[in-house]
Structure 1
């Protein structure tokens, strides 16, 4: 589920730059990504943001990794496929922000284009499954750790569990899942996604 205009960050310009680089029209990108043309137009104009699943669809359409898609550096990475001793810091408050109906994502360490994992600092906003909507699924595995508040974990195949600060869970993200805020204040998690 996408969300209205709030803080789309550099997502729109990134989509447009990758599309123009390939000399694709919005219609071509829509066909390749299976995302409606009108949605893509709104994203490029900063009126709409996308959730994790839709961003994954775009990355696949562009035939790049999720981390490459979110990288702010559009240059080719000469280190691809080679062992490196890279490092990327994630100072408090940093990250590429993407706001959706259910989550406020901060994709961390976006200066590294090619990563084996995607670290995310994420605010869980929805408080009920009805408010959340359909469970999310994406082609990855993920670990989450609650760093603030209480989070209720709903999955397609298991009973719900409530996690407090310091509790975590590792799941196959291809299974439908949702993380709900069930505490009194805000709920924040750190999520590490490993793409298949």
Structure 2
């Protein structure tokens, strides 16, 4: 059997199994977590549904009753992480923070490792799939990268409206620089990114502030 099967429901929807029993959310989460571990250890192309099933303590048919193929399972596993990251954000809205603190928090949320410390490894794996599985990287871009970068852009726009940031600031470029700072820190072995958001904003703020 290959890692693609014509049975099951893609996307992990809440449905009954073929035997009519309701889906077990705890079992679903065990499979999702096993998938995320295998993505880190093996990468998308090398990981197999058989290994995921073994790690999760289930059979491969159990996975196929829930997801049609490896890509659908992987996308659900990624979306699970995206939701967990968003839920971990501080509840205070950025609009209520002082200008520099608001931008700092927005830049902090750009960090790919904000929720998942293995995110840099995952991103490297996904970029390596550009030719083999372009829809996987496209999903990461649309669900993980762009929302974070747009948050910085939108925060800068709001700060411009508040009169705290210069009107001529190139928000797109600033947001891209902030996002790239985390990759540069990783590649330069500066793995303690606890103060990176503060340091980036401290460097940029004199050129941004009115």
If you compute each CA radius of gyration, which structure gives the higher value, 1 or 2?
2
Q: Which one has a larger percent strand, Structure 1 or Structure 2?
A: 1
Give the TM-score, by structure 2 length: 0.24
> Which of the pair is proportionally richer in helix?
2
Q: When the two structures are superposed, what TM-score results if normalisation uses the length of structure 1?
A: 0.25
